[in-house]
Amino acid sequence: MRRYDPEDMPSGICDCCGEACTAQPIDVGIGPYEYWGARGNHVDIQLLSPCCEAEVVEGGQKLIRTAKHVAKKPHNNGQIQPGDTYYLRVYRHWRCGGPTWITVKKIKQTPTMKEQASTYETLMAVAALQERV
Ligand SMILES: [Zn+2]
């Protein structure tokens, strides 16, 4: 069996959803089979995106805008309920020599994210103060 070094995996964007990712060896073989009484195990390892098992193509993804909102109506099939705080993240995806497109993600704020955000805001405030000195 071949060994796959994670460092050697092609990275880029998923050809299906545009998510930035690194390819992973995924077995797309049909697995154990029987053909006229002969048994076998069909293995076909391909380097594909972990999210959609699609080709990883050259390109990139960049977070271009983030905003905090309080939901007025349910989002993400009810994962975010009215009154919940969520982050709206706008990403730009591009394919090398190909199109550019935008996706929007809504991520519900969890208690740990709240902590991280306040730590981040504190650090930024400290940095801003230090710059002025
Ligand atoms: Zn994908």
Q: Given this model, what pLDDT does residue 2 score? A: 65
pLDDT digits (tens, 9 = 90+) for 88-104: 999 999 998 888 999 99
pLDDT < 50 stretches in the chain: none
Q: 130 alpha carbon to ligand 1 midpoint, in Å?
A: 42
Residue type, 50: P
- Write down the pTM of the prediction: 0.64
Query: How do the domains of the chain map onto residue ranges?
Result: 6-57, 59-132
The residues facing 88 across adjacent strands are 67, 106
Q: 56 alpha carbon to ligand 1 midpoint, in Å?
A: 9
Q: 61 alpha carbon to ligand 1 midpoint, in Å?
A: 12
Contacts of 90 (CB under 8 A, 6+ apart): 63, 64, 65, 66, 102, 103, 104
Q: Given this model, what pLDDT does residue 129 score? A: 72
**E strand or H helix that includes residue 48:** strand 45-48
Q: 78 alpha carbon to ligand 1 midpoint, in Å?
A: 22
DSSP, res 123? H
Q: Given this model, what pLDDT does residue 1 score? A: 53
Q: 48 alpha carbon to ligand 1 midpoint, in Å?
A: 9
Q: 15 alpha carbon to ligand 1 midpoint, in Å?
A: 7
- Taking alpha carbons only, the member of 116, 96, 91, 122 closest to residue 106 is 91
